[in-house]
Amino acid sequence: MPYNEPNPAEVRVLSKRFGIPNSQSIDVYLANEGYQAYERAAKMTPDEIVNVVKASGLRGRGGAGFPTGMKWSFLARNSPKPKYIIVNADESEPGTCKDRLLVEFDPHQLIEGIMIAGLAATSNQGYIYIRGEYRYLIDIMNKAIAEAYDRGYLGDNVRGTGWKFHLATHTGAGAYECGEESALLESFEGKRGIPRIRPPFPAVAGAYQSPTILNNVETYAAVPSIFRMGGEEWAKLGSPKNGGTRMFCLSGHVNRPGVYELPMGFPLMRMIEEVGGGIRGGKKLKAVIPGGSSCPVLKAEECNINMDFDSLAAAKSMLGSGGVVVMDETTDIVAVALRIMRFYAHESCGWCIPCREGTTWLRKILLRIYEGHGVASDVDLVGELSKNMLGRTFCPLGDAAAMPTIAFVEKFRHEFEAYIQKQVPAAQPDPLLQLASV
């Protein structure tokens, strides 16, 4: 059983089968519209498939929200090299825990989505890169893959159509950066998770330098319902240019945290109050991180907003990976900013100077402020160093560390200053040392 009760406000399309006993099995899947979308797509040309995805308005669920149909259309289909489908199940953005459920409770939906991508790409091989911590999901996925082979949905001759399509899982080993698509590909090839220089993009040179479609788990999982409903119908589930539903991961200080499937554009305050049951202990809302740790924080008064890519971009934040972290009035923003920076410093791959040194420096300053040894100039310095990282790093991890930090100091400057004012006196200097330095 899923880990939280469903909510009446949900529009359950991707999570439709969650909660059905034995929802992982292919029989349950087949009994519940399973693999019908594949049958439909199998009759289409790759271009037609891409057009359906385009019409659905589906945008990548991994964080950046890039239109999926457009991404698929970039694939160098004419290349003589093999084409690969890669699934990003590295889910590591703090605040995000939705891909886990999509794999755990409906692995066949994911397989079907991957197959349709495979048809669109004229590919014969897919891989699912699953973060190492999700070992039990690898077992679930492997079992589902074995079932799909058994029933002829995978193999050398898929459902007798002559199309060859193989699928396998691949484990990560603990590295947030390996969720970044090009670092993921390096990791997949057995190397350190260091991003690649782009261009070329994966659509031209991805896995094994071959044309590759790479998407998030939720993105692929959305594809079967798109083909069952039709692109236009599916698009209408959401708001304009933000098709469909989205798995929101509600966490933090709410009464009913959980993963909920809601239409794109669902109002944030309704999500907190109606779906999440309001702030725990009757406290007041202070702020919300709307899409995982890398998204700039929204103050309470900014939370009257619709949860879609464009509305959040207009508010200078991001929908990101769907991790909605709700913070009540007791929340220590300095502690949150420090914890987030500790994360990015720990996860920086170390390739480029601004991110490697910037996150570490910022972590040290924030820790010093937190421990009561901050100085007045530190607040500006934190903001400025973050801006010095922004846009200058090799991959977006540097931005992901900078953006929330800039927002924290801009929107909650007084909290940082308060820490600095109630300074803990520095330890008494050693008199001998003092003498020596005269």
Ligand X SMILES: Cc1cc2nc3c(=O)[nH]c(=O)nc-3n(C[C@H](O)[C@H](O)[C@H](O)COP(=O)(O)O)c2cc1C
301-360 residues near ligand SF4, rule: CB under 6 A: 348-352, 355-356
Q: Determine the Cα–Cα distance for residues 174 and 179; give it in Å rounded to an integer.
A: 10
87 touches ligand SF4 by CB under 6 A: no
Instruction: Name the minimum Å distance from CB 296 to ligand SF4.
Output: 18
Among 10, 93, 186, 328, binds ligand X (CB under 6 A): 93
Q: Which stretch binds ligand X (CB under 6 A): 138-146, 152-160, 213-221, 267-275?
A: 213-221
Residue 94: phi and psi, rounded to 5, are -50, 130
Site residues for ligand SF4, 100-139, by CB under 6 A, read: none
Stretch that binds ligand SF4, among 80-88, 272-280, 296-304, 391-399 (CB under 6 A): 391-399
Least distance from C-beta 281 to another protein, angstroms? 12
Min dist CB 94 to ligand SF4, Å, is 15
**Minimum CB–partner distance for residue 352 and ligand SF4 (Å):** 3
Under rule CB under 6 A, residue 61 binds ligand X? yes
Instruction: Reduce the secondary structure of the chain to three states and give it as a string.
Output: CCCCCCCCCCCCCCCCCCCCCCCCCHHHHHHCCCCHHHHHHHCCCHHHHHHHHHHHCCECCCCCCCEHHHHHHCCCCCCCCCCEEEEEECCCCCCCCCHHHHHHHCHHHHHHHHHHHHHHHCCCEEEEEECCCCHHHHHHHHHHHHHHHHCCCCECCHHHCCCCEEEEEEECCCCHHHHCHHHHHHHHCCCCCCCCCCCCCHHHHCHHHCCEEEEEHHHHHHHHHHHHHCHHHHHHCCECCECCEEEEEEEECECCCEEEEEECCEEHHHHHHHHCCCEHHHCCEEEEECCCCCCCCEEHHHCCCEECHHHHHHCCCCCCCCEEEEEECCCCHHHHHHHHHHHHHHHCCCCCHHHHHHHHHHHHHHHHHHCCCCCCCHHHHHHHHHHHHCCCCCCCHHHHHHHHHHHHHHHCHHHHHHHHHCCCCCCCCCHHHHHHHC
Q: Is 296 in the site for ligand SF4 (CB under 6 A)?
A: no
With CB under 6 A as the contact rule, the residue among 65, 202, 398, 404 that binds ligand SF4 is 398
Which of ligand X, another protein, ligand SF4, none interacts with 134 (beta carbon under 5 to 8 A by kind)? another protein
- Listed ranges 17-25, 175-183, 366-374, 405-413: which one lies at the site for ligand X (CB under 6 A): 175-183
Q: Indicate whether 91 belongs to the interface with ligand X (CB under 6 A).
A: yes
Nearer to ligand SF4, 112 or 347 (CB): 347
Pick the stretch among 164-172, 178-186, 405-413, 418-426 that binds ligand X (CB under 6 A).
178-186
Distance CA 261, CA 8 (A): 10
CB 129 within 8 A of CB 86: yes
**395 touches ligand SF4 by CB under 6 A:** yes
90: left (phi over 0), alpha (psi -120 to 50) or beta: alpha
Among 57, 179, 224, 290, binds ligand X (CB under 6 A): 179
- Which range in 186-194, 212-220, 295-303, 420-428 contacts ligand X by CB under 6 A? 212-220
For position 212 contacting ligand X by CB under 6 A, the verdict is: no
State the minimum distance, in angstroms, from the CB of residue 407 to ligand X: 18
Q: Is residue 64 a contact residue for ligand X (CB under 6 A)? A: yes
Please state the closest distance from residue 259 (CB atom) to another protein, in A. Answer: 5
Q: Which is nearer to ligand X, 150 or 189 (CB)?
A: 189
Nearest CA to 100 among 267, 258, 297, 207?
A: 258
Residue 402 binds ligand SF4 (CB under 6 A): no
66 binds, among ligand SF4, ligand X, another protein, none (CB under 5 to 8 A by kind): ligand X
Residue 1: CB minimum distance to ligand X, A: 25
Q: Which of residues 139-198 bind ligand SF4 (CB under 6 A)?
A: 177, 195
Which residue's CB is nearer to ligand X, number 92 or number 331? 92
Residue 88 site contact among another protein, ligand X, ligand SF4, none (CB < 5 to 8 Å, cut-off depends on kind)? ligand X
Are 321 and 93 in contact by the 8 Å Cβ rule? The answer is yes
Residues in contact with ligand SF4, total (CB under 6 A)?
14
Identify whether the C-beta of residue 212 lies closer than 8 Å to the C-beta of residue 83: yes
Q: How far apart are CA 37 and CA 53, in angstroms?
A: 12
Site residues (vs ligand X, CB under 6 A): 60-64, 66, 88, 90-93, 176-177, 179-181, 214-216, 219, 395-397, 400
Site residues (vs ligand SF4, CB under 6 A): 177, 195, 348-352, 355-356, 393-395, 397-398
